[in-house]
Amino acid sequence: MLIAQLSDPHVRPRGELYQGVVDSNAQFAAAIAQVNALDPRPDLVLLSGDLVDHGHADEYAMLGRLLADLTVPVRAIPGNHDERDAFRRAFAGQRWLPANGPVDYVSGDLGPVRIVALDVTLPGLHHGVVSEEGAAWLDGVLSAEPARPTIVMMHQPPFDTGIPYMDPYSCREGHRLAEVLARHPQVERLLCGHVHRVMQLRFGGTTLCTAPSTTTAIALQLRADARPASHVEPPGMLLHHWRQGTGLITHYVPIGTFPGPYPFA
């Protein structure tokens, strides 16, 4: 099973730039085109939050037009820049979408890997939290299929990255999540967005990966007094390839056209 993860596109209304600098819509369109051109074709695309920039209806309308070109099934969660009700309207009619409350759901109909979406966002705030209710829900759904390989997807990562202007907006109460995951070794990956960078670490007995943004990269500055900054680096995505006997392999893939292919390896 091949799963593409796109994150943090920050779609804007038609003709408007992200932060007045970057054409996030064109970059997301390029990401979609690259996913469509992959061979083999992915079985699924995961969108790990911050689909739009301000949660406005015209942004979600633009998101819908861009996603109409995607030829692969989608599963999505909101991020801190999304607005939960507008997000729900944008994906109305999707079987995976819960009718109300947090966008928590299970999707297991597209291949051997089960997808569990955990919505840790807090409406009106930029940090997230693993609530007691959310942790109990996750424990229950993981207990239902203990032998099936599983990916858990959320937006804000539940750890401090060391980037001082990002860590106040991480997911809090991560210990609740770690305790649940430690009881469920079938969880192959915990996938996050939010930080606009690729990071990985051991968490709760599994591997946590954060995805790059299709728009901009938040600057990797580890000094405690560093000031917020971003760069227009090459956008990217993650490809998660599950094979029987091997498990889940995660690849970083830059989005764009580059020299090659050349006849050597």
Query: Looking at residue 27, what is its pLDDT?
Result: 98
Query: Looking at residue 159, what is its pLDDT?
Result: 97
CA atoms within 13 A on the CB side of 155: 27
Q: Tell me, yes or no, if the pTM score tops 0.85.
A: yes
Q: Are strands 44-48 and 2-6 parallel, antiparallel or unpaired?
A: parallel
What is the secondary structure of 18-47 as a DSSP string? Answer: BTTTB-HHHHHHHHHHHHHH-SSPPSEEEE
Query: Looking at residue 229, what is its pLDDT?
Result: 98
Q: How far is 234 from 127, CA to CA, in rounded Å?
A: 26
Pick the CATH number of 2-254 from 3.60.21.10, 3.40.50.11810, 3.10.20.30, 1.10.630.10: 3.60.21.10
Q: How far is 179 from 132, CA to CA, in rounded Å?
A: 12
Query: Looking at residue 185, what is its pLDDT?
Result: 98
Torsion over CA: 56, 61, 65, 68 (sign): positive
- From first to last of its 265 residues, what are the pLDDT tens digits of the chain? 999 999 999 999 999 999 999 999 999 999 999 999 999 999 999 999 999 999 999 999 999 999 999 999 999 999 999 999 999 999 999 999 999 999 999 999 999 999 999 999 999 999 999 999 999 999 999 999 999 999 999 999 999 999 999 999 999 999 999 999 999 999 999 999 999 999 999 999 999 999 999 999 999 999 999 999 999 999 999 999 999 999 999 999 999 999 999 999 9
Q: How far is 214 from 2, CA to CA, in rounded Å?
A: 19
Query: Looking at residue 24, what is its pLDDT?
Result: 98
Q: How far is 28 from 6, CA to CA, in rounded Å?
A: 9
